[in-house]
Amino acid sequence: MLEGKKIIYGVTGSVAAIKAPIIARELMRANAIVQSVMTPSAEQFTTAYSLSVITQNEAITNIFSSSASTWHIHLGRSADAMFVAPCSATTLGKLRYGIYDNAVLLVASSLPPETPLVLAPAMDEEMWLQAAVQENVAWLRAHGVHIIDPQSGALASGLVGLGRMSEPDELVRKFMALIGTQKSNQTIEHHTHLSLQDKRILITGGPTYEPIDPVRFIGNRSSGKMGAALANVAANEFGASVTIVMGPSTSETVQSVNRINVETASQMHGAVESLSPSSDIIIMSAAVSDYSVKSYSEKKLKKHGAADAFTLELAPTVDILKEISANRKAKQIIVGFALESHANGEAYAKKKLAEKSLDMIVLNYFDEVGSGFSADTNAVTIFTKNGKTKNIPLASKTMCAREILIAITELL
């Protein structure tokens, strides 16, 4: 996938930088042309020499590495992508606030807008969960930077928690999935006549939370990233008029998207019921709760004793997708999502497509690495009512959104 692509590989001051030579080797195995750049702090954990030997290019370690004062501009413009792994908390903050005082940051500042920048943060859990770090990550994501979230596992501090960088082979695989946009962009160019400029699209995204009492709720792990990607791509690249009804989610949507934030399945149902008659296309990507609590407690429920059993009586929520499909208007396109396991996913998705009279259903798997909730990547299969099937291998959720929207234009 990286055959002949020039990748700038940045290494910053995290203990995980001891894995930098292995990451560089994995990039080389993917047939990339790799140019390493390092911060001074990174040299406390690995060496420029080792990266130079592996990549067959001299690693750049400071902003005066070249006699040409504009070296970083030429390097940035020549790259197909930049990958910073590990990315320290300090680097996240400096990128957020435009502080470019080392070689890695200087090259990052010189990337053309269309060149992907991918960051793989690595730090201890307490650092990763700091409000400032999370705000910086959210801002960078909202401004087009790809983040490969750290995993839970053994940390350099000797503790176990969230903040561990993925192993080099998995990390490079995720990186390749995120930057593999060339094919998708070419597909878009070949479908420029399939614009959605005159279409009103209604999208649902994120989870719903069903309250038990003032402090507890029933929910799920949906992040809203897929819904946000669909909304952003539909508005920015396909020119549609987009409204998204979003459950509790920090996923950002662009200013041109009309966003309606809700919390419960009932609130989402009300919003969709109101908006669906005026929509040309409805994409139901939200993970809506199947049940809500029958009797909400106005006061916090107290624990009576360790041996006491506690029972919640649940009531089914409205099947929003089934309802809007049953009351659809002429020529309205309705798209559903199915999150299943590999064991029975395709059968369940096709059954849902038929039973709810959908035009299209998008299947993804919760038991596939890099797919499903919270990840920046996804792997989906698109089934349409006319019997067509399209597989989208692991790719960024933005890429998946493009392919889903292209499939919708083909239905039109």
- Among 154, 149, 140, 152, smallest CA distance to 174 is for 149
What is residue 84's three-state secondary structure? strand
The active-site residue, picked from 57, 220, 236, 258, is: 220
**How far apart are the C-alpha atoms of 37 and 65, rounded to whole Å?**
10
**What is the separation of C-alpha 200 from the centre of its chain, rounded to a whole number of angstroms?**
24
**How far apart are the C-alpha atoms of 236 and 295, rounded to whole Å?**
43
Is 261 part of the annotated catalytic residue set?
no
- Quick check: 86 and 165 in contact, CB under 8 A? yes
**How far apart are the C-alpha atoms of 286 and 268, rounded to whole Å?**
9
The DSSP output letter for 287 is B
**How far apart are the C-alpha atoms of 365 and 378, rounded to whole Å?**
9
**How far apart are the C-alpha atoms of 205 and 222, rounded to whole Å?**
8
**How far apart are the C-alpha atoms of 102 and 279, rounded to whole Å?**
50
Task: Please name every residue paired with 195 in a beta bridge, in sequence order, or none if there are none.
Answer: none
Task: Please name every residue paired with 397 in a beta bridge, in sequence order, or none if there are none.
Answer: none
Structure tokens at 305: 């004793």
**How far apart are the C-alpha atoms of 155 and 121, rounded to whole Å?**
13
**How far apart are the C-alpha atoms of 253 and 259, rounded to whole Å?**
8
Active site residues: 220
